[in-house]
Structure formats: structure tokens, C-alpha cells
Chain A
Amino acid sequence: MTRTSPIRTAVRVAVVAVLSAAMLVPMYIMVVNAFKPQQEILLSPLGFDLATLTTDHIAAAWQNTSFPVVEGYAVTLFLVLACNVVAIGASVPAAYTIARTPTPLFRFLLFFFVAGMFVPAQIILVPAIFVLKALGLMGTLPGLVLFMSSTMIPFTLFIFSGYIRMLPRSLDEAAAIDGAGRQRILWTIVFPLMRPIVATAFILNALSAWNDFVSPQLILGPGSQFRTITTGVYAAVSTYTTNYEIVFPTLLLAVVPILLIFVLMQRHIMGGLSAGAVKG
């Protein structure tokens, strides 16, 4: 460590600082321009004039009926939680059974689930519509939750079963001798030990649910009163992509809350991801 020269450290710090600043430029452009009239956005996209800053466009975006911001956040947060509950809740017992039952049948079952990781979700959406329709779940939130969860299950189950396999078997065997039932062993002994990997799965699933656009777009459809953040932004912006008085304020409203969540939870999110990556 003594060999790291102060010059090299300085260069390193400078490079990191410049790169970080570069990553933030688009954010800066979005924030500044959300408070400017179109003419000024065109004339000076980077600067701002305190005299002409206005919150009119933000207010207009806030009131835009095609993108109800608060509702959009509520629906999207609900999706994040519900999909995680379904995907994790279903994957834990399945992964436990698969990991602890080394018969060919269960090995095949694991393979069957893992194969789903190679099926891109948006691609099977078209045929999934027919299934949801047959179930009477088309255009409903439960239908959407089930579809999104099903696309999360393969990966969740895969990392869970890998993790459980690393947990010492003696733990559950001891509990079994004490007369504990299988469910009890799973939820009171194994599951608490799985916390790091559950956190990883939760974060990854949350990100994919949060970012999903096509599934809510097609499954909910215009008949539903529910809009997610992505479908709301699309409805509000897609036909006005160069009307910057609409684009920047709408995007700003769409990203500020999630960025705040990210900043507050940053350590947990990044930590959770890397914890899973090391152990999974």
C-alpha cells in the first residue's frame, strides 16, 4: 500500500470526480429545464435566468390527467411489493424443497425453473394475454401481479436454492429431531438465515417491477383506471417528445421520488446487491 503515490491518488480522485459529474449532467439538464419556458430551453439549455424561472410547467404536469403522479406512484409501489411478496413467498418453499431433496425429479424441476431465466418477459407478453384472458384477469392488477411475478420466479428461485444448499443441513435436521414440522423449520430456521439473499432478490425484483413498462401497458390497457409511472409518463409525453415544456417537468415529477428513495436507501440497495452477488 505504501507504493501508492500521492500523484496517482490525485489523478484517481480527479478522474472519479469528472466521471461522476458527467453522469449527472443529464439530471442537471432535466432539473434546470423543468423550470424554464420553451424559448429559453432552446436558447440556453444549460443556463438559467432567475428572473424567468417558473413553476407553471411543473404545476401543469402535476395536473395532467394522463399522468396522475401520486396514483402512479401508489400503483407502482403496490406492484413492487405485491410482486415481491408473490415471487419470494412462492420461491422460498420451492427452493428449500428443491435444495433439500436431491432426487432426479427435483433436479429436473430446478432445471425447469431455471430455463425461464432465458425467456424474455416482454416477448411472451402477447401469448400471456390469452392466458390472462382465459383466467378473467386481463385488465386487472392481480393479473398484472401474477404475470410480473411469474417472470421473477425463475431467478429468485435459482439464487435461493443455491443459497440454501450452502446452509448446513445439520440445522434443519436437528430441528426435525426436536419434532418441528417442515413449514416451521423453513420459516423459523431457514428463512431468517436467508436474509441477505432475500434482500438481493427483493432489490432486483423491485427494480424490474419499477422499470417495467410493456407489461402494465398491455395488461392493464386503457380500460383500467390504474396507471404506473412508466405508462403515465408514456401517455403524457409520447406524442409531445419535443415539447420540452411538457417533457422535462413530467420526467422530473416521475424521477424525483424514486431518486430520493434511492439516495436514502442507497447503502442498502447497493449493499444488498453485492451481498447476493458474492454469496449467490
Chain B
Amino acid sequence: MARTTTTRRGVLSGLANGLMTLPAAAVYTGLTVVPVGYAVYYSFTQYNGIPSQAPTWVGWENYARIIADPIGDLRPAAWVTLVIAVVGAFLVNGAALGLALLLRRTTALNTFARAVMFYPHVLSALIVGFLWQAILGPQGAVNNLLENAGRSTWPFLSDPDWALVTLIGVIVWAQFGVQLVLYLAGLQAVSPELQEAARLDGAGGPQVFRHVTWPALAPTVTVTIVTSILSLLKVYDVVLGLTNGGPGDATQTWAYEILAVSFANNKVGLACAQAVLLVVVAGVLSFTIIALRRRAEEGAEAVG
């Protein structure tokens, strides 16, 4: 008797638990998990996305096409994306950490400066792209200044290498503010006593940073690196505003390739294969970084 009540209570509470997670699970499954499933399925088909026409199963053909890359359009996009993700993440984090150290103390000027560093992030990437295109384009503000001063112009957006560097620069400008806030928060968590103790032991500024501050920041570093790489891997809006992928294909990112090339040309099968690969790459990169950082973080716990 007593036993059945507990079982019933167990079932009921299980049911209640299920109900509590249901809304989140339903929305997330319906619009993220199922689409990923669709993407995997379509990635093995040749399909133009038109409902009245059926997908044809082609096995690994789309993936083979991506890897063989017969017309040399996907490998450059993969390369561009990787450069943006790695170099961009490095610069974003470098700038954010440097400024966090500089703006650590809460003074009126520093509070103002923090807001100024953060504001590009509220503008939206597309608008940032258009704005910088107007500043750095062939007839943009900077080149007009140079021209009016009788100097030769700079090909910020018209030379393939420059364009990629410019793109990364603009992304860093727009994004490091968020990581700056995370670093500032991380710095608050660094024990002042430890730092003071280290200083009393005769350690100089750089040494305190290396042995106390940096290890204590380890968890923050992991989070900021992973979040910045994840957001850099899907860069699209800013490209659209700044270069629209050009010149040639110099700034076509993987996401641009998926949305503006494959999908826009009715190649849904290929677009989905590209999407699946990007999801895999994002996952592998993130987990690798988290695994690599684990040791550093263990160090942090020892210090903290």
C-alpha cells in the first residue's frame, strides 16, 4: 500500500518534471534539433528546395564535392573563415584583456571608456559593415582625405588581402567590447589579497600578472575564446555590409557561401552539407579548446 503510493508519487513527479521541461524542449527541438536533422538528411540529397520537386538521394556526393572542391570556391571560403575565427579571436581577446587591465579601476573616465568600447556591439553587425564601407571604401572618408591631401589611396576594400585584413579589423572593433566586460568581471574575482601578498613578496607588475592574475582569469579566458570563436565562425552580416564577399571571393566566408551562394542558387542539398560541416567544426573546435584549457583552469582553482 505504502509502496504503491510512493510509486504513484514517483510517476507523478516524473510527469511533473517532464511538463516543466516541455516548453523549452518543444521549442528547442522543433526549431533547432529538427532543422539540424533536416540538414543532415538534405545534405545527402540533391535538392533545389522547391516543395513541388522531390529531393533525390545522392549519398556522400555533396560532401565529396566540398572536399574535392573542383572549382576552388569552397576551400578559399573555409580558409577565410578559419583565418577570421583564429586571428579574430586572438585579437578580440588580446584587445579585450589589455583594455580590461587598463580600465580595471572604477573611475569616471574608465566607466565612460568601457561604455565607449562596448557601443559598437549594440549597432548590429550589418550596420557596422555599411558604416565602415562608407569610411574605408574606394571613395570613402579615409580615401577622400588621402586624395584631397594629394596622396595615393589605400585599397582597404579593393585588394583581396587588404579586404580580409580590413574585415577582421572591423569585426574586432565591433566585438571586443563584449569580451572586455567579461574580462572586467573576471578581474573582479581575482583575489586582491593574493595580489597584494605577491606584491609584498617583491613581485613586479608583470610578475603579479603572470603568476596571480592570469591563472585566476583562466576560466574567463576559456569562455571568451570559445564564445568569440563560435561567433566568428558564422560571420555573415558584417561581410554583407562591408564587402559583399568581394573583391572576387576574397571575403566570402563559409556562412556567406551557404546563404548567399548555395542557397541563393537553389542548391539546398549542398548548402545543408556545408551547414552540417560547420556545425561539426564549431563543435570540435570548441571542445578541443575546452579540453586544452582544462589544465589551465585547474591551476586557477589552486590559485583562487
- Where the two chains meet, the residues of A that have a C-beta atom closer than 8 Å to any C-beta of B are 12-13, 15-17, 19-20, 23-24, 26-27, 29-30, 33, 41-46, 86, 89-91, 93-98, 101, 106, 109, 113, 115-128, 130-133, 135, 146-147, 149-151, 153-154, 157, 182, 186, 207, 210-211, 213-214, 229-230, 233-234, 237-238, 241-242, 244, 247-248, 251, 254-255, 258-259, 261-263, 266, 269-270, 273-275, 277-278
Interchain nearest-CB distance for B226 vs A (Å): 9
What separation, in Å, do the CA atoms of A106 and B17 have in the docked complex? 9
Asked if A278 contacts B189 (CB within 8 A), the reply is: yes
Instruction: Chain B residues near A186: list those with CB within 8 A.
Output: 20
Which residues of B28-42 are within 8 A (CB) of A? Answer: 28, 30-39, 42
Instruction: Chain A residues near B145: list those with CB within 8 A.
Output: 45-46
Instruction: Chain B residues near A135: list those with CB within 8 A.
Output: 30
Q: List 6 A-B contacts (CB under 8 A).
A: A16-B113, A122-B234, A127-B272, A247-B134, A248-B134, A258-B122
Asked if A86 contacts B27 (CB within 8 A), the reply is: yes
Interchain nearest-CB distance for A248 vs B (Å): 7
Interchain nearest-CB distance for B242 vs A (Å): 9
B23 at the interface (CB under 8 A from A): yes
Instruction: Chain A residues near B220: list those with CB within 8 A.
Output: 277
Asked if B130 contacts A241 (CB within 8 A), the reply is: yes
Asked if B123 contacts A274 (CB within 8 A), the reply is: no
Asked if B126 contacts A230 (CB within 8 A), the reply is: yes
* Size bin of chain B's contact surface: 35 or more
Name the prevailing secondary structure of the B interface residues: helix
Asked if B27 contacts A182 (CB within 8 A), the reply is: no
B119 at the interface (CB under 8 A from A): yes
- Where the two chains meet, the residues of B that have a C-beta atom closer than 8 Å to any C-beta of A are 16-17, 20-21, 23-25, 27-28, 30-39, 42, 49, 51, 99, 102-103, 109-110, 112-127, 130-135, 137, 139-142, 144-145, 148, 173, 178, 181-182, 184-186, 188-189, 220, 223, 230, 233-234, 236-237, 240, 255, 258-259, 263, 268, 271-272, 275, 278-279, 282-283, 286
Asked if B120 contacts A23 (CB within 8 A), the reply is: yes
From A17, which residue of chain B is reached at the shortest CB distance? B109
Instruction: Chain A residues near B259: list those with CB within 8 A.
Output: 122, 125-126, 214
A-B contact count, CB below 8 Å?
255
Asked if B186 contacts A277 (CB within 8 A), the reply is: yes
Asked if B133 contacts A274 (CB within 8 A), the reply is: no
CB within 8 A of A93: which of B23, B37, B115, B234? Answer: B23
From B27, which residue of chain A is reached at the shortest CB distance? A150
What separation, in Å, do the CA atoms of A127 and B121 have in the docked complex? 28
What separation, in Å, do the CA atoms of A263 and B111 have in the docked complex? 12
What separation, in Å, do the CA atoms of A90 and B22 have in the docked complex? 8
Asked if A29 contacts B141 (CB within 8 A), the reply is: yes
Asked if B42 contacts A15 (CB within 8 A), the reply is: no
From B41, which residue of chain A is reached at the shortest CB distance? A127
Asked if B268 contacts A126 (CB within 8 A), the reply is: yes
What separation, in Å, do the CA atoms of A33 and B131 have in the docked complex? 11
What separation, in Å, do the CA atoms of A41 and B137 have in the docked complex? 13
What separation, in Å, do the CA atoms of A254 and B17 have in the docked complex? 44
Interchain nearest-CB distance for B276 vs A (Å): 9
Q: A150-B31, A262-B119 are in contact. List 6 more A-B contacts (CB 8 A).
A: A12-B102, A26-B131, A26-B135, A42-B139, A131-B34, A247-B130
Asked if A116 contacts B28 (CB within 8 A), the reply is: yes
What separation, in Å, do the CA atoms of A122 and B117 have in the docked complex? 26
From A137, which residue of chain B is reached at the shortest CB distance? B31
If A29-B135, A126-B272 touch, does A266 touch B115 (CB 8 Å cutoff)?
yes
Instruction: Chain B residues near A214: list those with CB within 8 A.
Output: 236-237, 259
